[in-house]
A and B are shown apart, each in its own frame.
Chain A
Amino acid sequence: MVRLPMMTELLRQLFKKPATNAFPARYLPPSVTTFLHKVALGEAAINPPMPVPPKFRGKITYDRESCIGCQLCLKVCPAHAIEFLPTTKRVRIYVAQCIFCSQCNDICPKDCLHMTDEFLLATENRFADCQIVE
């Protein structure tokens, strides 16, 4: 006897909403970049992303004023994404290289590095202003 236990589940699925959150738009726009430009200008609406989990590790922020230039963060960065600038005794973080482990936040004695909720970071230029934190 042929048994197809999936059939009932499949029929049930016909009347259910899709489980996927259609982000950033319900249907794939011809060009995502153009679509996001339009969103920035207020001409199109974005379908909101899922909320980030608690203590999410997004783009890094750096409190330049309280940094003492101890270079401990350089020692634990697995991606070598942090550069020390000897003239100013401050650091520069390359977000394009960062792997978001937040280990620098843990080791910083002055608590001047933090992770934010920002996760839409892709650009075409890895040295763009938004990709360098200093």
Chain B
Amino acid sequence: MNGDTTKKSTPYTVPIGPVHPALKEPVMFNFLMEGEVVKSVDFAPGNVHRGIEWMGMRRNPVQIVHLTDRICGICGIVHSLSFARAVEQIAEIEVPPRADYIRTILHELERMQSHLLWAGVAAHELGFDSLLFLTWRVREQSMDLIENLTGNRVNYGIVQIGGVRRDISNDQILLIEQGLAYYRGLLDQMKTVFLDDSTIRMRCRGHGLLSYRDAQLLCAIGPTARASGLAMDVRHDYPYCAYGDLDVQPVLPPQEFGGPQGDVYDRIIVRLLEIAQSIDIIQQCLDSMPAGEVLWEKKLPKLLSILKKAHGEAIGRVEAPRGECMHYVRMDGNDAPATWKVKASTYSNLMSWIPMLKGEQLADVPIIVASIDPCMSCTDRVTIIRNGSADDLTKEDLTQLSREKTRRFSRC
């Protein structure tokens, strides 16, 4: 028998996705494999486009702020805060200090639950399901706190243009302090369970490497960038809400773990240390919380008429658990904003998959893909559909489309 006819040609392609058990959210991967090793990789997002921006163009900012809650199931506060901050800058609304502190507390509680959720998912991707259940049980405490403060587990609906919709009572402050004490007691155990474990160390140390230079070139953000040694954090570089008053430093992998190396293990370290940082920030907020109003304008009809008159454009920047989240809003004196553009944090981190996955084994793909904490449904803003099929537009296609349009215009 001739060996050449049965032998598969190398490198061969392995498609994974758009819907695949190893991926938590839909994204299409194409791996060029040589044996078990990934030679090169390409991916195509855009499978969960929902048209939220389109809905926003037909609604006023007070309605949109609740729509932004639903961009992401985890980053509810992040998106609504980012949008609210953009609109507040346009309409020159000054948020009362107490509202800023409440926003900060909720923002950090959300970061804690998001990082714990991620840690559980990472454990699951490593095949360590008992750790997943342990982490998610621990996460419940922060979910219960958020539920108590906002009235809902997800889709909080607490941020309003010009403040927050609910004040934090003294009883609730006690509850928050109890929650913080619970997490303080658990932190050491969490660190031991995640970082001392031989299995996790073997699977994560030295895998999914993103060098300092690559992180810079690919504009990585958030914990992904910090694990590669980039000291960047919007809370520190461009303070918003109450962060200007607080002591916030970007969390980098410490020297005791060998400094920043940019692998999956470092991303676990950064996220675990950020939970500790969030506890510290919430404590600082509780200690120095000012009294006063929580809304700039209590009467909603008045707020609506002020927003209707607003002219201008602004960007709201917020450090989401996954990195910087940005909302661009332009208002031109109508009910609805003229433009509303959302840049979710995962969008900037997607490209770092390519250097991370190169040279890794197929079995390491799930944990490396999960290590940037991808949130595809936040990210997907554009889907191009022509003649009933969704495909990519190349530069030539765009030029061709542009020429056809000019011709159409010149004809009439």
Contacts and interface: CB of A to CB of B under 8 A. Distances in A.
Interface of A: 1-6, 9-10, 13, 19, 53-57, 72, 75-78, 99-103, 106-107
Contacts of B189: 9
Contact of A6 (B59, B131, B140): B131
A5 B192 contact: yes
B301 interface: yes
Given A55-B166, A76-B300, A103 B140 contact: no
Interface of B: 59-60, 62-64, 66-67, 69-70, 128, 130-131, 134, 137, 140, 144, 147-148, 151-152, 155, 157, 165-166, 189, 192-193, 196-199, 300-301, 304
Contacts of B147: 53
Most A C-beta atoms less than 10 A away, residue of B60, B66, B131, B189 = B66
A109 B66 CA distance: 21
Contacts of A72: 300-301
Contacts of A103: 62-63, 66, 157, 300
Given A6-B193, A55-B166, A103-B66, A76 B157 contact: no
Most A C-beta atoms less than 10 A away, residue of B62, B131, B140 = B62
Contacts of B69: 101
B193 A9 contact: yes
Given A53-B144, A99-B155, 6 more contacts: A3-B198, A54-B151, A57-B157, A76-B62, A76-B304, A103-B62
A53 B144 CA distance: 8
Contacts of A100: 152, 155, 157
B151 A57 contact: yes
A57 B152 contact: yes
B66 A4 contact: no
A106 B131 CA distance: 43
Given A19-B137, A53-B151, A56-B151, A78 B197 contact: no
Given A2-B198, A4-B199, A53-B148, A78 B64 contact: yes
A106 B165 contact: yes
Contacts of A75: 60, 304
